Amino acid sequence: MGSILVINAGSSSLRFAAFGDAVELPEILRGKVERTGPSGADDALQDIQRQLAVTPLSAIAHRIVHGMQHSEPVGITPALVEELHRNVPNDPEHMPRQLEFIEACTRLYPGVPQVACFDTAFHAHMPRVAAQLPLPRRYEAQGLRRYGFHGLSYEYLLEELARVAGPDAAKGRVILAHLGNGASLAAVKDGVGIDTTMGFTPAGGLVMGTRTGDLDPGVAAWLLVSGLNAEQFTHLVNHESGLLGISETSADVRDLLKLESTDARAAEALRLFCYQVRKYLGAFAAVLSGLDTLVFAGGIGENSPVIRHRICNAMQFLGIELDDKQNATSQPLISSAKSRVAVRVIPTNEERMLARHAYRFLRK
């Protein structure tokens, strides 16, 4: 038996891991490359190959951010690679680099099965009313709709919720909050995602580290008329905006928490972030007709008791009440005994979810 290599490629960075090809999927390697550079895929994979030494590979699993119509993992074939190349305009931030790693793996590991796992697949069964964009129907025919992202994280969180709290909890009315540099929420009922904050691209929804989140179309038109071209606009809303744009100092919540007492810009950025999370919590509770479980995950959701407190403190009307001591130490269950909603902290693990998909794919 070999191992399953997991490739989680971002626009300029890479997270990777390897797991033993067994039911328990023991983790045998994990790492991150901050900057992969122009020829970084081949260099990074050769370094991973050295770290894996003589361990043979059973499969390679790739995270693909934008899966369009795909609703489950699929084997990577030349036809799929061609399709993904056609989809680059829909995800210019991630798809080119993810294709580089697929093609580099094909060269370095010829004959090893590769599996594409799509971040959008979790949301593929959203009701039409949640997926439809209010544009002329001819654009929907070209693929314009709300897709949602962070799906691999949400799949993992839902499976972990079933493990730690039981299947009934995972099939209840659940809001999953993946809060990190990229941030989104998902509303889940009967184990199925029924709404999410991100839309056609990962730039929509909540304000994020460097992304705007939802933006009035009139603002986009004004910026384009004022002189920005499409490429500059895309860079602005993905890399210069969000918490970084508002604070003018940092996209990192940890930095902003240190600065907020002396810098009004940092305080405003944090206030807007927490406000928007609360707003979507209320909206999704309405979509779900109530709320049974709230799960925090991601770098902020897992590690910032202050942000969790600020989000939940004004939500008692929904039945959310935190236990301050449990929250302060990021315990798995941070809601108080009298809270009608169970509030949990579950560390997400996209790499393990990718490995699970590859393991299941191999055994079909």
- In tens, the pLDDT along 147-168 reads 999 999 999 999 999 999 999 9
Report the percentage of the chain scoring pLDDT > 90.
Answer: 87
- Residues 132 and 117: their CA atoms lie apart, in Å, by 23
Q: Please answer whether residues 83 and 118 qualify as being in contact, where contact means their C-beta atoms are separated by less than 8 angstroms.
A: no
Q: Tell how far CA 243 is from the center of its chain.
A: 18
What is the predicted pLDDT for the residue at 39? 60
Averaged pLDDT for residues 321-332: 98
Residue 188, φ and ψ in degrees, nearest 5: -130, 135
Domains of the chain: 3-118 (3.30.420.40), 166-345 (3.30.420.40)
- 47 pLDDT tier (thresholds 50, 70, 90): confident
The H or E element containing residue 16 is strand 14-20
What is the predicted pLDDT for the residue at 2? 87
Q: Please answer whether residues 198 and 126 qualify as being in contact, where contact means their C-beta atoms are separated by less than 8 angstroms.
A: no
Question: What sign does the dihedral 320-323-329-331 (CA atoms) show?
Answer: negative
Amino acid sitting at position 256: L
The H or E element containing residue 283 is helix 264-288
Question: What sign does the dihedral 208-242-277-270 (CA atoms) show?
Answer: positive
Report the percentage of the chain scoring pLDDT > 70.
Answer: 98
What is the predicted pLDDT for the residue at 36? 59
What is the predicted pLDDT for the residue at 27? 94
- Residues 311 and 296: their CA atoms lie apart, in Å, by 11
- In tens, the pLDDT along 333-363 reads 999 999 999 999 999 999 999 999 999 999 9
CA-CA-CA-CA dihedral for 325, 330, 336, 342, to nearest 10 = 180
pTM for the predicted model, two decimal places: 0.95
pLDDT greater than 80 at residue 267: yes
- 35 pLDDT tier (thresholds 50, 70, 90): low
Averaged pLDDT for residues 177-205: 96
- 38 pLDDT tier (thresholds 50, 70, 90): low
pLDDT greater than 90 at residue 89: no
What is the predicted pLDDT for the residue at 346? 98
pLDDT greater than 80 at residue 277: yes
CA-CA-CA-CA dihedral for 257, 259, 263, 264, to nearest 10 = 0
Q: Please answer whether residues 256 and 269 qualify as being in contact, where contact means their C-beta atoms are separated by less than 8 angstroms.
A: yes
Per the annotation, the verdict on 323 as an active-site residue is no
Q: Which of 21, 119, 195, 292 is catalytic?
A: 119
Instruction: Look at 22-36, 252-266, 312-326, 328-342 and tell me which has the smallest mean pLDDT.
Output: 22-36
